[in-house]
Amino acid sequence: MAIENNSVVSIEYSVKDASNNVEVDSNVNGEPLEFIVGQQQIIPGLENELVKLNKNDEANIQVNPEDGYGEYNEEAVQTLPKEQFAGVELSEGMSLYGTGEDGQTIQVTVKSFTDEDVTIDYNHPLAGKTLMFTVKILDVRDATQEEIQTGVVGGLQEEDSCGCGGGHCH
């Protein structure tokens, strides 16, 4: 089955920072990543290449920053008074989550801190990085109307008592 808009695609992947070959994420031997093509649920550089594949295909896909998590933006680094982080045990490189101006969840990384200030980075941790994905297409199917409307794969059915949707209990 060809992968096209409103296909639900299930993949197994690992991703490395192409500059140093260090793995930054993987779901190998875990739950597959499922997404609906055309709903911007994964980075465009990966989705644009996955749609060229078929079920059971395996591929190495390089994604440049502009098609991944964007270029690194120096202006997205801020230094704030340490009082704003009261009660937080800070460590360099840790991720903190907060609420942005539009109410969305934002992730920041602590770059450094002193007794007075904390320098945080609003860039995605993978911004500015060229990524190398190793992927295997596990399954491809048409999305249901509910999935297309909600953007959620495998909506819960009444008879689904385990809460994992679609009868894929493990």
For the stretch 6-32, pLDDT in tens is 999 999 999 999 999 999 999 999 999
DSSP state of 22: E
Residues 18, 53, single domain; the answer is yes
Kindly provide the residue ranges of all beta strands, DSSP E only, lying in 88-146, ordered along the sequence: 95-99, 105-113, 117-121, 131-142
What pLDDT was estimated at residue 161? 37
Residues 62, 134, single domain; the answer is yes
Does some domain include residue 111? yes
- Mean pLDDT, the chain, rounded, equals 89
Residues 94, 79, single domain; the answer is yes
| Enclosing domain of residue 30 | 7-69+129-150
Strands 58-63, 33-36: pairing kind: unpaired
Q: Residue 156 — pLDDT band, cuts 50, 70, 90?
A: low
* Run of H or E including 47: helix 44-50
Cβ pair 63, 45 in contact under 8 A: yes
What pLDDT was estimated at residue 164? 42
Range with lowest mean pLDDT among 52-56, 60-64, 102-106, 159-163: 159-163
Residues paired with 162 in a beta bridge: none
For range 130-142, the mean pLDDT: 97
For range 33-45, the mean pLDDT: 95
Number of H helices, E strands in the chain: 2, 9
What are the phi and psi torsion angles at 11 (to 5°)?
A: -130, 155
43-62 pLDDT, tens digit each: 999 999 999 999 999 999 99
57-83 pLDDT, tens digit each: 999 999 999 999 999 999 999 999 999
For range 92-99, the mean pLDDT: 90
What are the phi and psi torsion angles at 50 (to 5°)?
A: -60, -35
Cα–Cα dist 36/150, whole Å: 10
Is the pLDDT confidence value at 162 over 80?
A: no
Cα–Cα dist 42/69, whole Å: 10
* CATH code at position 80: 2.40.10.330
